Amino acid sequence: MSDLVHEAKAGDQRAWREIVDRHASLVWSVVRSHRLTDPDAGDVFQTTWLRLVESLGRLNKPEQLSAWLVTTARRECLRHIKRRDREFPDPEAVDVSADADNAAAMLLGVSENTITAPDTAILRRERDGEILAAYRKLPERCQALLRLYLAEPPLSYNEIADILGLPVGSVGPNRGRCLAHLRKLLAGNHQAAEAEGDA
């Protein structure tokens, strides 16, 4: 097995196919033991092999490849189940969802107590529409990051970093930049609306 791993590291496709052929049933047995749906099982199976491709150059003990694959497949299954069991709010529902209303306030640091007029629902809906429009203008990476911050139950920085493939230390600073960008977009929308009103 060590020879096959070394050959696969060197780019030998035949060696790679041989590794997959020898270990596919092992990986499938681990994935199936977690009782995932067929599509989810297929995703985890593929992800396990992707992790091997990413880690092949760092695999210090090629003779322990089977154990590495079992451990990795198990971790990917648990990670998939954890993600599946979380609720990720749909940004498209921001203008009709009370939870999204609270989430928008949380993201922007707006106190719900600042809106006290009798037309509260209309004002909130208008504000949420503005936030959604600004959110859609953010880069995709910012949209993904801010969405993860609204997961229920909340995700840790480690989990967010893992999902997005970021270093843990960059999650907070990236969040700050994305929120600053969102606020700037909202401020621009307000200025544009005022300019239209003056015209």
Q: Give 162-195 pLDDT, tens digit per residue.
A: 878 889 899 989 999 999 998 898 887 656 555 5
Distance between CA atoms of 132 and 142, rounded to whole angstroms?
Answer: 13
**Which residues partner with 152 through β-bridges?**
87
Tell the residue number behind the tokens 């600073």, with chain if given.
173
Which structure tokens are listed for 187? 């401020």
Structural contact between residues 20 and 1, judged by C-beta atoms closer than 8 angstroms? no
- The predicted-structure confidence for 100-143, as pLDDT tens digits, reads as follows 444 445 555 444 444 444 455 555 666 667 788 888 888 988 88
Residue 87, φ and ψ in degrees, nearest 5: -105, 120
Sorted by where each starts, the structural domains of the chain and their CATH numbers stand as: 2-84 (1.10.1740.10), 91-198 (no CATH)
